[in-house]
């Protein structure tokens, strides 16, 4: 455990990946959540996505949310997009940091954006140029990186080849998304190792879901490889559209609590993040799967 | 990830550590649960505890449960006891494998058994002789091994010194219990390393709680050190008496699902364990924190 990174960069995705998998909430509630998160010390927030409102009605007010939040110095806000049209909307709204998603699984990509993975990659190549011309950056997120709810296992070679194509086309970073929580620590090590063997200098972000309980174990496996960039969702907002009642993204406060105890700095004030998780619970009106929200940090004692 | 043990020994503790933290259930339901577990392939079940019924009314029918279950060849059944009197009752009932628990935390031990840790250790020394004279074995479980809900951090040296005392007194094995989920992977590595430096040959069992979400990450850290003996609770039965709503023991089916995917054999039929978890949910009448029960194994696909 002595070779872990001394710090990691966390991207809070609760307002986007969390809320897009919850019943719709009012614009003001989204603004309140992003503002609460901006005050936790977290340095990156994926605030909205620019997707077709028919596909994901939860994100139809992306422009209003972005216009409504108090942007805090030192916090980088980003938007997720599924295609060039979404990227153009994000740029028009004033984002200068964009994530575009493509699925390694052919079936999942077709269900998501009604085109093949190859077609999405061609459009992403064009998108990267458009975003770069606007002076902004693009991270390409490879979804279903460790498996697909329709196809099952996705071969490592397939995921890595999608990512390498995006690298060749100029992506500023690569994310691997465990869309439905199919990763286990050994698979994390294999994928990161294979990807790096041909792109050793490229920034790698990992986005785990805790659908099958392996989220934080996967984070540990990645930390041991020196990965220092992770997504997480406050309170564990979200869920899994393929498994009602299952957990969604790894929980931000649980991740912060674990890694900070091992000397890995996140910049996050844990108590402030726990408060933000309580805000998230209030907004969605249901109990969220956060453990640290329920139990408190390990140092919280009970009177004897 | 290449140096993990090829197999581990799992001890199912749901009928004991799980049910003692749930509202009381009828004897027949306990028998049904143990019988369901006996059919999963798990090779060890901590079936009951012999504690004072005023302290833990949930376990008052230990003798009846033990008399009622169908004991299956190839499954080792054990009983947990807090003291010599409990061990005598367990031996009288016919158990030949006993766990005795002592807390590394002075305050927790006093709350649990109304005596100091040193007094408990003295009695355990006598208990070990009594159990050995009866031809049976004793594992000494050091509770609050990574922290105490009353005292907070428990120094590694303290936990290790309690364990080494039990080793000197003849314990057949040592367990470390993370009673309220205060362990993180780095702490697991430190404690196991410190313990082994003075007792390299002694069998070590680890008993994690997922109170703060670190349960499976802790299992991974221990596997990487070659630890091959873990406790887990079907469905995540139980909870944390100090944090209402928090998770209890690591979930058996979640643990099996993760480690088997990495080539670590458990002997457990995952589908049978998921069925046993559904039985556990029905018995306690509440939703349990199992992820794999909700989402199914990673290989379970959805029609496109």
Q: Is B213 on the interface with A (CB under 8 A)?
A: yes
Average pLDDT over residues B26-32: 98
Q: What pLDDT score was predicted for residue B130?
A: 98
Task: Please say if the pLDDT value at position B2 is more than 70.
Answer: no
Task: Please say if the pLDDT value at position A48 is more than 70.
Answer: yes
Average pLDDT over residues B258-266: 98
Average pLDDT over residues B137-164: 98
Kindly list the distances between the CA atom of residue B250 and the CA atoms of A84, B17, B203, in Å, as whole numbers in the listed order. 44, 11, 20
Q: What pLDDT score was predicted for residue A253?
A: 98
Q: How confident is the model at residue A83 (pLDDT cuts 50, 70, 90)?
A: very high
Q: Coil, helix or strand for B268?
A: coil
Q: Is B6 on the interface with A (CB under 8 A)?
A: no
Query: Measured between CB atoms, which of B153, B211, B221 is closest to A220?
Result: B221
Cα A15 from Cα A42, distance rounded (Å): 13
Q: What pLDDT score was predicted for residue B152?
A: 97
Contact B177, B200 (CB under 8 A): no
Q: How confident is the model at residue A239 (pLDDT cuts 50, 70, 90)?
A: confident
Angle at A78 between CA A163 and CA A4, to 5 degrees: 60
Task: Please say if the pLDDT value at position A205 is more than 80.
Answer: yes
Q: How confident is the model at residue B215 (pLDDT cuts 50, 70, 90)?
A: very high
Mean pLDDT of chain A: 96
Query: Measured between CB atoms, which of A187, A221, A244 is closest to B220?
Result: A221
| Residue B212 per-residue DSSP state | T
pLDDT cut 90: percent of chain A above it: 95
Residue showing tokens 């439905």: A180
Q: How far is A253 from chain B (nearest CA, A)?
A: 10
DSSP code string of B228-257: -EEEEBGGG----TTSTT---BPBHHHHHH
Establish whether B148 is a catalytic residue. Answer: no
Which of B 241-280 lie inside 8 A of A, CB atoms? 242-247, 251, 254, 257-258, 261-263
Query: Measured between CB atoms, which of A187, A246, A287 is closest to B291?
Result: A246
Contact A65, A34 (CB under 8 A): yes
Active-site hit among A45, A162, A240, A284: A240
Q: How confident is the model at residue A246 (pLDDT cuts 50, 70, 90)?
A: confident
Q: How confident is the model at residue A18 (pLDDT cuts 50, 70, 90)?
A: very high
Q: Is A291 on the interface with B (CB under 8 A)?
A: yes
Q: How confident is the model at residue A9 (pLDDT cuts 50, 70, 90)?
A: very high
Give the tens place of pLDDT for each residue, B179-190: 999 999 999 999
Task: Please say if the pLDDT value at position B38 is more than 90.
Answer: yes
Q: What pLDDT score was predicted for residue A15?
A: 97
Q: What domains can be seen in chain A, in order of their start residue?
A: 9-295 (3.20.20.70)
DSSP code string of B107-172: HHHHHHHSS-HHHHHHHHHHHHHHHHHTT-EEEEEEETTT-BTTTB---HHHHHHHHHHHHHTT-S
For residue A184, which residues of chain B lie inside 8 Å, CB to CB? 258, 261-262, 298
Q: How far is A95 from chain B (nearest CA, A)?
A: 34
Q: What is the pTM of this model?
A: 0.98
Q: What pLDDT score was predicted for residue A2?
A: 64
DSSP code string of B178-203: -TTS---HHHHHHHHHHHHHH-TTS-
Q: How confident is the model at residue B242 (pLDDT cuts 50, 70, 90)?
A: confident
Which ipTM value was assigned to this complex?
A: 0.97
State which H helix or E strand residue B176 sits in. Answer: strand B173-177
Average pLDDT over residues A209-219: 98
**B212 vs A257: CB contact, 8 Å cut-off?**
yes
Give the tens place of pLDDT for each residue, B53-104: 999 999 999 999 999 999 999 999 999 999 999 999 999 999 999 999 999 9
Which of B 166-195 lie inside 8 A of A, CB atoms? 180-182, 184-187, 189
For residue B147, which residues of chain A lie inside 8 Å, CB to CB? 298
Q: What pLDDT score was predicted for residue B244?
A: 84
How distant is the alpha carbon of residue A102 from its chain centre? Answer: 13
Active-site hit among B42, B104, B143, B240: B240
For residue B258, which residues of chain A lie inside 8 Å, CB to CB? 184-185, 212-214, 217
Give the tens place of pLDDT for each residue, A118-145: 999 999 999 999 999 999 999 999 999 9
């Amino acid at each position: 455990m002595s070779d872990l990174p001394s710090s990691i960069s966390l991207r809070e995705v609760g307002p986007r990946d969390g809320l897009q998998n919850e019943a719709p909430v009012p614009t003001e509630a989204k603004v309140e959540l992003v503002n609460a998160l901006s005050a936790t010390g977290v340095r990156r927030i994926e605030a909205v996505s620019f997707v077709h409102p028919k596909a994901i009605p939860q994100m139809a007010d992306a422009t209003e949310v972005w216009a409504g939040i108090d942007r805090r110095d030192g916090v980088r806000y980003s938007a997720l997009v599924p295609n060039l049209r979404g990227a153009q909307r994000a740029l028009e709204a004033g984002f200068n940091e964009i994530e575009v998603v493509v699925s390694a699984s052919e079936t999942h990509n077709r269900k998501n954006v009604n085109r093949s993975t190859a077609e999405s990659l061609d459009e992403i190549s064009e998108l990267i140029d458009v975003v770069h011309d606007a002076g902004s950056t693009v991270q390409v997120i490879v979804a279903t990186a460790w498996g697909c709810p329709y196809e099952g296992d996705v071969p490592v070679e397939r995921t890595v080849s999608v990512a390498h194509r995006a690298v060749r086309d100029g992506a500023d970073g690569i994310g691997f998304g465990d869309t439905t929580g199919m990763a286990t620590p050994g698979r994390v090590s294999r994928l990161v190792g294979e990807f790096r063997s041909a792109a050793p200098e490229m920034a790698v972000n990992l986005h785990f879901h805790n659908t099958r309980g392996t989220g934080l174990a996967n984070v540990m496996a990645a930390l041991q490889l020196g990965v220092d960039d992770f997504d997480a969702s406050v309170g564990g907002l979200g869920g899994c559209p393929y498994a009602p009642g299952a957990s969604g993204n790894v929980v931000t406060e649980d991740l912060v609590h674990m890694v900070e105890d091992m000397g890995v700095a996140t910049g996050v004030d844990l108590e402030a993040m726990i408060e933000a998780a309580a805000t998230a619970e209030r907004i969605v009106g249901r109990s969220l799967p956060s453990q640290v929200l329920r139990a408190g940090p390990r140092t919280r004692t009970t009177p004897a």
